[in-house]
Chain A
Amino acid sequence: MSIEKQVDSGRRGLLVATCAAGGVAGLATAGALVSTFQPSERAKAAGAPVEVDISALKPGEMQTTEWRGKPVWILKRTQEMMDSLKKTEDKVADPKSEKPYTMAMPEYCDKQTRSRKEHSDILVTVGICSHLGCSPSSKFQSGAQPSLPDDWNGGFLCPCHGSTFDLAGRVYKNKPAPQNLDVPPHMFLSETKIIIGKDEKGEA
C-alpha cells in the first residue's frame, strides 16, 4: 500500500491550512519588526527651516549651519570667484544641474552661479557629497596643490574619494560623485538674513 493511500486528505488539508495561517502570522510579525527600522515620527517631525544671520560674512568667506542634521554652506563669493565659474563651465559634468542629487535646484537659481539672481554672489548649498555622503572641504585657493589638478580654479574637495566641485558646487567630470551638490530652497528675509528650507512657495 502506497503512502498516499494512508494519508487522510481531510487532515492533510487542515495541516496545510494551519501552516498557511501560521506563515501569514509569522510574515506579518516580521513585517512589523522590519517596519521599526523606518524613521520614527519624531525623526520625521524634525526638519524645520532654519534662519541664518550672514551680516558678519565677508566676501571670500563661508559659514556653515545645520539644517536637517546636514551641513549647509553659505559662501559669499568674490568677483574673482564668480569669474572662475565661466572657466569651469566645460569642465563640470552637469553644468546645468539637470540631474539632481536629492532635490532639484530651485528654478529661481541661475544655472551657472547656482544662486538667487538678486544675490548671485551668495551660494547656499548642502555640504554633502553626492557620492557617499561625506562633507567636502573648502579649497578656495586656486593653483596647483596636493590632490588637486594644476589648473585648479578654487572649489571643494571631498576627502573621502577625491571628488572635486567648483565654487558653485558643480561636480567635475570623471569623478566618483555623480551629481552636483544640492541647493536647498532658501530665500532672503533681509539683506543679512537667510532662511533655509523655505522659500516663497513654502517649506520644503
Chain B
Amino acid sequence: MAFVEKKLPADAPVVDKALNWVDSRFPLTKLWNDQWGKYYAPKNFNFWYIFGSLAMLVLVIQIVTGIFLVMHYKPDANLAFASVEYIMRDVPWGWLVRYMHSTGASAFFIVVYLHMTRAFLYGSYRKPRELIWLFGFAIFLCLMAEAFFGYLLPWGQMSYWGAQVIVNLFGAIPFIGPDLSLWIRGDYVVSDATLNRFFSFHVIAIPLVLLGLVAAHLIALHEVGSNNPDGIEIKDNIGPDGHPVDGVPSHPYYTFHDIFGVTVFLTIFSAVVFFAPEMGGYFLEYNNFIPADSLKTPSHIAPTWYFTPFYSILRATTSEFLFVVQAGVVAYVALIWLTTKLPQLLKIAIAAIALVAIAGMMPGALDAKFWGVVLFGGSVMILALLPWLDVSPVKSIRYRPDWHKYVYIVFGIAFVALGYLGVQAPSPIGERVSQVCAVIYFGFFMLMPWWSAMGTFKPVPKRVTFAAH
C-alpha cells in the first residue's frame, strides 16, 4: 500500500501539522488514546485505585534519583561505604537524592502492597485479568530483587549479613546448593565480586526487565479494561457512542483524580524524606551505619520490613514444625481425594508428590533448613496462583458472604503479624505465633478453591454503584 499522509488545510496550526506528520509515521496519538486519553475506565473507582498510578510515580522517582546516585557511588568493597557517606555529606544535595531513593524503596513496597490488597478485595486478578496479575506478580519479584541487590550497595553491616543470609538460602538446595551460592557470590564469602555483580543487577539488568514488565502490565490492562469495586464488567454494557456507559475516559477524569492522589502522596513522602528518613530504623536500619565487617554479625539482624512476612515463615520452619507440615499435607491430599472430581491419574500424581514431600520431611531426610527455604519461596510464589485458586462466583468482596470478610481479615492479621515478628529478635513465643500465622497464610491460599465458593452470595448489580459528586 502506498504511503498516504493525511492532508491538513494550509492554514492549520503548526502544532497540528507537526502531529499529523508524526502520526503518519508513528502511532503517537493512537498510543496516547489507547493507553490513557480515550481509555474508558469505570466511573466508580474509589481511593484504592490510586496505587497503580502512585507505583508508576515511585518507579520514576527511583530511576531518576538512582541515575544521580550512580554518578557518585563507587561499587568497590573498599570504597562503597565511604562513597555513600560522601554522597550524604559532601555532594551538594546528595543527602536529599539518597533519602529520596531510600524512602522511595519503602514507599514502593507500601504502594505495591496496597495495590495488591485492592486486587484481593475486588477480585481484580480474576478472568480475564490473569495475565495482568501475572505480570504484576513478576513486577513484585523484580522489586524484591531490586530491593535485595540495592541493599548490599551501601556495604554496611546489615547489607553484608543480609546478603550473606539470602545467598546462603540457595545453599539449602540439595546437591547443587553449596555450588550455587558460591556461583552467586563469585567468592567463598560475600566480597567485592558479589558487590560488583549486585550493582550491575541493581542498576541495569533488573530495571530493564522491570520496565518491560510494567509496559506489559499496562498493555494487558488497557486491552481487557479495568476492574472496579463492584467487580462487574463495564464492557458488557456499551452505550450508543460505542463506549461503556459506566466508563469515563481516563483523560481528563482520572488524570486529575490521580494528580490529587499524587499531591497527597508527595506530602507524606516529603515529610518522611525530610523529617524521618530512617523511620525509626525501619526504612534505614541503624546497623547499616556501621561498615561491613565479615567477622562479626550484628547482634540483631533482620531484613527490611517489606521482606519480613516471608522471612518469618522461613524462621518458623523448625524440625518440630515439619510434623505440622506433614500433617497438613496428609489432610490436604485427603481433602483433594474426597471432595474433588479431578481425574484419577492426577489424584494419584498429587498423592505421589505428597508422599515424596512427607518422606523428605522425615527426621534424618532433608533438613528443616531446606524446607524453610521451600516454604519461604512457596509463600511468595503461591501469589501467582491466585487467579486459579479463587473460584468464587462473584469478584468483589462487596457481594461475597459476610463471613468471607472475616477470612480476609484473619489472613491480613496473620500477614501483618508475620511481618512484625520478622523484625523482632527470635523468641520461643514469637516462633509459635509465627508458626500459627504461617499455617493461616498457607491455609488461606491452599483452601481457597473450597472456601471461596461457599456461603450465600449477594446479587451482583447490572450497573456499577455510583453516586455523582
Contacts and interface: CB of A to CB of B under 8 A. Distances in A.
B278 interface: no
Contacts, number: 105
Contacts of B168: 131-133
A159 B426 CA distance: 8
Contacts of A133: 164-165, 167-168, 171
Contact of B369 (A47, A174, A178): A178
Contacts of B367: 178
Interface string B276-314: 000000000000000000111111110000000000001
A163 to B, nearest CB: 9
B325 to A, nearest CB: 15
A39 B369 contact: no
> In this complex, which of B161, B184, B294, B426 has the most chain A Cβ atoms within 10 angstroms of its Cβ?
B426
Interface in B211-253: none
Interface string A143-185: 0001100000000001111100000000000111110000000
A160 to B, nearest CB: 5
Contacts of A106: none
A2 interface: no
Given A134-B164, A160-B161, A174 B320 contact: yes
A84 interface: no
Interface in A101-137: 102, 127, 131-137
A64 B184 CA distance: 27
A134 B297 CA distance: 6
B424 to A, nearest CB: 11
Contacts of A146: 425, 427
B427 to A, nearest CB: 6
B188 interface: yes
Contact of B188 (A37, A69, A127, A135): A69
B296 A161 contact: no
B219 to A, nearest CB: 28
Interface in B141-197: 161, 164-169, 171, 178, 182-189, 191, 193, 197
A137 B293 CA distance: 14
Interface in B302-334: 314-315, 317-320
B427 A102 contact: no
Given A70-B294, A178-B368, A43 B426 contact: no
A135 B299 CA distance: 9
A71 interface: yes
B372 A176 contact: yes
Given A68-B189, A69-B189, A176-B372, A39 B182 contact: yes
> In this complex, which of A40, A71, A160 has the most chain B Cβ atoms within 10 angstroms of its Cβ?
A160
Nearest to A130: B369
B297 A136 contact: yes
Contacts of B166: 132
A196 to B, nearest CB: 13
Contact of A43 (B167, B186, B197, B431): B186
A132 B303 CA distance: 13
B165 A134 contact: yes
A175 B315 CA distance: 10
A37 B165 contact: no
B178 A102 contact: yes
A66 interface: yes
Contacts of B295: 64, 66, 70-71, 127, 135
Contacts of A55: none
A160 B157 CA distance: 13
A38 interface: yes
Given A69-B191, A147-B427, A131 B369 contact: yes
B301 A134 contact: yes
A159 B301 contact: yes
B369 A176 contact: yes
B296 A37 contact: no
A43 B169 contact: no
A160 B186 contact: no
Nearest to B178: A102
A47 B188 CA distance: 9
Contacts of A66: 294-295
Given A40-B193, A43-B191, A132 B164 contact: yes
Contact of A68 (B183, B188, B297, B368): B188
B186 A71 contact: no
A39 B166 CA distance: 18
B175 to A, nearest CB: 15
A176 B178 contact: no
B422 to A, nearest CB: 11
Interface of A: 37-40, 43, 47, 64, 66, 68-71, 102, 127, 131-137, 146-147, 158-162, 174-178
Interface of B: 161, 164-169, 171, 178, 182-189, 191, 193, 197, 294-301, 314-315, 317-320, 367-369, 372, 425-427, 431
29 contacts: A38-B182, A43-B188, A47-B188, A64-B295, A66-B294, A69-B191, A70-B295, A71-B294, A71-B295, A71-B296, A102-B178, A131-B369, A132-B166, A132-B169, A132-B171, A133-B164, A133-B168, A134-B165, A134-B297, A134-B301, A135-B295, A146-B427, A159-B301, A160-B301, A162-B425, A174-B318, A175-B318, A176-B369, A178-B367
The 5 lowest CB-CB distance pairs between A and B, nearest first, are: A162-B426, A69-B189, A71-B295, A178-B367, A135-B297
